[in-house]
């Protein structure tokens, strides 16, 4: 698993999962099913095999999104650095299938 320089947060396997808690992602996302936003396993299923997904999602995590999964808005997440967003995007896409 690729973990970037996260200022010490990403050393152990649970690092990015912990980051998703610390950055508030889990207030709206579950791992498996839809809550406010899509479950991270559902996101992984949607983009499985899409080589450009990690870069796109990294940008979306910081800038927000609406209309991809429905009409609920994901607000922008300015507390997340670009490196953190990239690590979070990779971590989301690594999740096992929800099906």
Binding site for ligand HEC (CB under 6 A): 20, 23-25, 27-29, 36-38, 43, 57, 60-61, 65-70, 72, 74-75, 77, 80, 88, 92
What is the smallest separation between the CB atom of 32 and ligand HEC, expressed in angstroms? Answer: 14
Task: CB nearer to ligand HEC: give 6 or 80.
Answer: 80
Task: CB nearer to ligand HEC: give 7 or 67.
Answer: 67
In this structure, are residues 26 and 18 in contact, taking their beta carbons and an 8 Å threshold?
no
Task: CB nearer to ligand HEC: give 27 or 48.
Answer: 27
Alpha carbon separation from 62 to 23, 29, 57, 79, 83 (Å, rounded): 11, 15, 9, 8, 11
Question: Which tokens go with 38?
Answer: 């899509």
CA separation for the pair 49, 54 (Å, rounded): 11
What is the smallest separation between the CB atom of 11 and ligand HEC, expressed in angstroms? Answer: 19
What is the smallest separation between the CB atom of 65 and ligand HEC, expressed in angstroms? Answer: 4
CA separation for the pair 17, 19 (Å, rounded): 5
């Amino acid at each position: 698993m690729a973990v970037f320089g996260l200022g010490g947060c990403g050393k152990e396997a649970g690092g990015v999962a912990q980051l998703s808690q610390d950055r508030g992602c889990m207030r709206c996302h579950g791992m498996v099913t839809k809550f406010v936003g899509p479950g991270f396993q559902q996101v992984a299923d949607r983009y499985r095999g899409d080589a450009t997904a990690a870069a796109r999602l990294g940008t979306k995590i910081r800038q927000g999104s609406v209309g991809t999964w429905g009409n609920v808005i994901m607000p922008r997440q300015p507390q997340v650095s670009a490196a953190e967003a990239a690590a979070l995007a990779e971590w989301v896409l690594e999740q096992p299938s929800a099906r």
